[in-house]
Amino acid sequence: MNTEQALQARSESRCELCGVTDDLSVYEILPALNDDAEECILICLICRDQVEGSKEMDVNHWRCLNDSMWSQIPAVQVMAWRMLTRLSAEGWPQELLDMLYLDDATLSWAQADGTNTSNEDAVNHVDSNGVVLEAGDTVTLTKDLNVKGAGFTAKRGTAVRGISLVADNPEHIEGRINGQKIVILTMFVKK
């Protein structure tokens, strides 16, 4: 039985985070300790896009963690812990985090992805080429960005001067475009 089959059986072919049955694929929780299904979870495309930061976070989607965080599977607990930590500023995720008990080994695994908010030094913001970004840098947009609510499109190639880094989210920076302060995904900029 390969990893995917093992996970399909374990999860009864559902997303182990939100429970949907469509577009499931194997997600490996990094850093990998061994190389087996214990370190992978089966997740749907909706969860994957947000976990990987390729789509904007839909905070309400993650209310599913209210159920899935009680999973007995360490890999699912780790993912729940990490997502709740990323969303903790919303309030309710922090309340869930406060209830979520992980054993020591699972907790240190969960914290090993570098986004632990109690250790902000470990958060690295990198641009689309993997170059580390620092506050005050000037970056260039690598694609046209539709700025929600502001009614304009920031064109590819636009320079954003004096960026600031969003402390608890390595995928977000802030900068001014057309005089408006907006949040920009690091994957769409280059230094």
Which spans of this chain sit near Zn ion (rule: CB under 5 A)?
15, 17-18, 44, 47
Closest to Zn ion by CB, 17 vs 141, is 17
Cβ at position 44, least distance to Zn ion in Å: 4
Closest to Zn ion by CB, 25 vs 124, is 25
Dihedral angle sign, alpha carbons of residues 95, 84, 90, 162: positive
Dihedral angle sign, alpha carbons of residues 101, 106, 107, 111: negative
Cβ at position 29, least distance to Zn ion in Å: 15
Cβ at position 17, least distance to Zn ion in Å: 5
Closest to Zn ion by CB, 67 vs 103, is 67
Cβ at position 99, least distance to Zn ion in Å: 21
Determine the length of the chain. 191
Strands (E), 29-160: 40-43, 139-141, 145-147, 152-154, 159-160
Closest to Zn ion by CB, 25 vs 119, is 25
| Tokens encoding 73 | 């599977």
Name residue, tokens 């989210």.
169
Cis peptide before 74 (omega within 30 of 0): no
Closest to Zn ion by CB, 58 vs 98, is 58
Cβ at position 105, least distance to Zn ion in Å: 25
Cβ at position 130, least distance to Zn ion in Å: 27
| Tokens encoding 141 | 């947009």
Closest to Zn ion by CB, 47 vs 177, is 47
Buried b (16+ CB within 10 A) or exposed e, 152-187: eebeeebebeebbbbebbbbbbebebeeeebebbbe
| Tokens encoding 33 | 């300790």
